[in-house]
Structure 1
Amino acid sequence: MTDNKNIGEIIGFSPEVYKISPDLYKNYDVKRGLRNLDGSGVLAGLTGISEVHGYVVYEGEKTADYGSLSYRGYDIADLAEHCGWDGRFAFEEACYLLLCGFLPNDTQFSAFLEALRQNRALPESFTEDMILKAPSKDIMNKLSRSVLTLYSYDRNADSTTPKNVIRQSISLIAKMPTLAAYGYWAKAHYFDRKSLILHQPQKEYSIAENILHMIRENSKFTPEEARILDLALLLHAEHGGGNNSAFTCRVLTSSGTDTYSAISGAINALKGPKHGGANLQVVKMMNDIEKHVENLHDEGEIYSYLGKIIKRKAGDRSGLVYGMGHAVYTKSDPRTEILRAQAEYLANKNGFGEKFELYETVERLAPKAFAEFKGDKKVISANVDFYSGFVYSMLDIPNELYTPLFAIARMAGWCSHRLEELISGGRILRPAYKSVCKNGKEFVSMSERKKLYCEKEE
């Protein structure tokens, strides 16, 4: 019987056959990670959905700049301040804006909200058959599988007409909170031995309200908690076509595949710790700093420990200060500034003032530490992940749901990019890869291979 744990060794597998010399990437001018040498992204497409600005390129030279983010031309700070000012919830209004391209009037928005309400419930027997009978330790994995399975419940699943895709998009936006909440409770019950609690989504609630209602045992929450979560969802709803998950969605869409496959792929991309899991890593890092720094009021001691983290001698030994730096933003991330204010408010209200001060200290010292201990002189600042996990923890949201919350928020952005790719893309995305394998090898018969193998053994 084959030992599956050591199957690679048994069949002679070696990772060495996949190694490509870094020098070859330079020789062939390959843009690793689809990024230029200065860190800017390789231009691979056009989008009218959002703009992410973090630097200026003047006469071929990249210069740091203050960050800005806009949805359909509306600055994120303005949306955060004005969306929902008369009692509406901001996230739903942002979803409409992203999908339709303009801010709705009362009639349009009422119809949109009603469509969301009508699509919140999962198909009959879906919860039992898909979620409870096949629980997962990872809720992102469960979200991906659940979205794929919804294909089987859609009578027109393969149609890629804009009319059909907008229908599917609204359905997915509405169902994501329920899928995440039920996936969480299935995990808590089957793996953590907790009671199984499944609250039905409420039609009168907003998406933020329904999330809090469904993930809490007593389903209770305050209007303030719902508003802060609603704001966090708004800030995470969209971030350009070049981010890893949106680009994944566009690549899959360009092949002509169905909506459920494209969105499931985006969820799988977001699951990766280099993309969507950073907010939880920030929380773990800050807990580690609290554990190992004796005097949290001593900036010199904190700075010294950051140096150990950067030199891979502390923390998770990755050399990363999680939540610091971004692929586009340099001097500032506009989302961070908004969330920082919410984090400070919640911290002072709930008795976490000293912890917030630690976050601010690390945010301020980390760029200097990178410059000294790593020799990295580029301008960096805290990104949205730096404070989002802290905010979620103060909202008493389980850490297993931090990345699923990101997926719930980003669904509108993914669906918008899918529609844009379907309507304006027109070609399958297929970049080139330069082959560096050596051709002309002579085929060796099985008997000769056996002989060669024996000679090597001797």
Structure 2
Amino acid sequence: MKKDDVLVDEKFNKLVEYSSRSGKIDVRLYADYDVKRGLRDSGGKGVLTGLTEISDVVSFGYIDGERVPIDGELYFQGVNVQDLIRGEANRRFAFEETTYLLLFGKLPTRQQLREFIDLIGIYRELPETFVRDVIMKAPSSNMMNTLQKCVLTMYSYDQNPEDISIHNILKQSLQLIAQFPLYSVYGYHAYRHYHLNKSLIIRNPKPELSTAENILRLLRKDGQYTELEAKVLDVALVLHAEHGGGNNSTFTTHVVSSTGTDTYSAVAASLGSLKGPKHGGANLKVQEMFKDIKAHVTNWRDETMVESYLQRILRKEAFDRAGLIYGMGHAVYTESDPRAVILKEYARKLSEEKGLEEEFNLYERVERIAGDCLMSGRRLLKPVCANVDFYSGFVYSMLGLPEELFTPIFAISRISGWSAHRIEEIVNAGKIIRPAYKYVGHHVPYLDLDEREKAYAEEEEK
């Protein structure tokens, strides 16, 4: 290392030390000022910050006037998500139908759905040379950054990007909903080609195919997929399309949209939120945890052995030593997460087609044992259920989706919900969202350089 580089590192490390010290706040002050950290009350329930008609997340009911936990339910524009998926078992366009419902507030007729699918097919076409000039240039190793780059660059291709009329926002939203699969899959192919020296295959989408079918066709070398594979991915897209206004990325959509900014900036901000491992990247942690479990539990059928290792994880003696069993527990659901229940059903079906029943049985076994371990080990009064992330990574792996696309698949789905919430925010013309922060620092006098030198020297001596 050069002498100048060493000097720069020393100076920078000193700045890091100053920054770490200056930003530290006494945690007791949060209780003193009744600050709802993470916008949650003392019971972990989200602080009410808005109203929505787009979706309802239900985790409790009332019996004789008393609030009691129930099996979780999820409603899109008043329609139970289970009914959306199971209503017509053999239809190919459940995600498209769900997107229509979220955006327009009601289920489409056969003719309306056909016209909507045709429109999505038209909007799926990217601007000329976009793949070459944007996606192939300086490809990122993280596909969420690729998505952000593509979204922000689309601003330059829009003749009227700043128009926030509902007419224009809807058009921009439909284009992004249609094009997200292309940004993601093409970005992944570019990454593999330029970073991993793999062959580059760019295949055009087919407008007559569903979003799920196009993803599998564009991603795979031979473009082939089974009917069940397409169905399972379609179901996963429906389940991830929306989950209330309080989740971090959707709340980000509301916050940024409330400023009156353009659609591309709002969606890019939401993507930045979803990228975080505490939000959209959670299923990757589940996958990593299961890789670790499979490496250390030699007999997957031995429940005693499985429980022993899970206890080690909880005691921070194994895996990443964070003391967490990833994919277990949810901020709202207690008895069950309806998305996890549905996805588990399709994970079972897919595991049978793929010959991975033993692996599915391990997931099911860990889910059951982990719930008991968490309740007894942490003396919880409420049950702990698996959340949607518990099975989604396993499903994506069985579909042959690379881990680099796990979170982008979430985004491909959730852009439908974000678009609905952005329109809702603009339609209701609310105030700019501006929560308060309490200043808990100290006012100090300004010192000139000489006085500063003397004061800091005296501090060092102490």
Query: TM-score normalized by structure 2?
Result: 0.94
1:336 to 320, 335, 340: 340
CA deviation after TM superposition for structure 1 residue 338, in Å = 0.9
Superposed counterparts of 1:60-209, under 5 Å: 63-83=68-88, 85=89, 87-209=91-213
Give the conservation status (yes or no) of the 8 Å contact 1:293–1:302: yes
Superposed counterparts of 1:202-351, under 5 Å: 202-351=206-355
Name the counterpart of 2:43.
38
CA deviation after TM superposition for structure 1 residue 87, in Å = 3.7
2:436 to 413, 417, 432: 432
After superposition, the Cα gap between the structure-2 partners of 1:226 and 1:355, relative to the gap in structure 1 and judged at 3 Å, is same
In 2: Cα distance, 1:7 partner to 1:303 partner: 49
CA deviation after TM superposition for structure 1 residue 56, in Å = 4.6
More off after superposition, 126-135 vs 44-53 = 126-135
Name the counterpart of 1:54.
59
Residues 55-98 of structure 1: per-residue CA shift (max 9 Å, x gap): 35899986432100010110011001125x56441000000000
In 2: Cα distance, 1:18 partner to 1:57 partner: 44
After superposition, the Cα gap between the structure-2 partners of 1:454 and 1:86, relative to the gap in structure 1 and judged at 3 Å, is closer
In 1: Cα distance, 2:172 partner to 2:256 partner: 16
More off after superposition, 33-42 vs 110-119 = 110-119
1:293 counterpart letter in structure 2: V
SS class of match (1:198): coil
SS class of match (1:328): coil
After superposition, the Cα gap between the structure-2 partners of 1:291 and 1:41, relative to the gap in structure 1 and judged at 3 Å, is same
In 2: Cα distance, 1:6 partner to 1:59 partner: 66
Question: Are positions 1:399 and 2:403 aligned together?
Answer: yes
More off after superposition, 59-68 vs 379-388 = 59-68
Name the counterpart of 1:415.
419
2:454 counterpart letter in structure 1: K
Give the conservation status (yes or no) of the 8 Å contact 1:208–1:229: yes
In 2: Cα distance, 1:311 partner to 1:91 partner: 41
Name the counterpart of 1:452.
455
CA deviation after TM superposition for structure 1 residue 456, in Å = 5.2
Question: Are positions 1:15 and 2:37 aligned together?
Answer: no
Residues 94-142 of structure 1: per-residue CA shift (max 9 Å, x gap): 0000001111123322221121111112212221221111210100111
In 2: Cα distance, 1:97 partner to 1:219 partner: 30
Give the conservation status (yes or no) of the 8 Å contact 1:121–1:178: no
1:278 counterpart letter in structure 2: A
After superposition, the Cα gap between the structure-2 partners of 1:148 and 1:89, relative to the gap in structure 1 and judged at 3 Å, is same
2:445 to 421, 442, 445: 442
1:207 counterpart letter in structure 2: T
Give the conservation status (yes or no) of the 8 Å contact 1:54–1:330: yes
- Give the share of equivalent positions with the same residue, in percent: 49
Aligned residues: 456
In 2: Cα distance, 1:228 partner to 1:413 partner: 20
Residues 273-328 of structure 1: per-residue CA shift (max 9 Å, x gap): 00011112111111110111122221111111111111211111222111111111
2:358 to 354, 361, 365: 354
Residues 195-240 of structure 1: per-residue CA shift (max 9 Å, x gap): 1111111122111111001111111112221111111101111100
Residues 3-26 of structure 1: per-residue CA shift (max 9 Å, x gap): 555553244633121111111111
In 2: Cα distance, 1:45 partner to 1:425 partner: 13
Name the counterpart of 1:368.
372
SS class of match (1:14): helix
CA deviation after TM superposition for structure 1 residue 349, in Å = 2.4
CA deviation after TM superposition for structure 1 residue 417, in Å = 0.3
In 2: Cα distance, 1:376 partner to 1:23 partner: 24
2:450 counterpart letter in structure 1: S
1:43 counterpart letter in structure 2: L
In 2: Cα distance, 1:457 partner to 1:20 partner: 22
Query: TM-score normalized by structure 1?
Result: 0.95
Q: List runs of 5+ in structure 1 lacking aligned partners.
A: none
In 1: Cα distance, 2:199 partner to 2:65 partner: 59
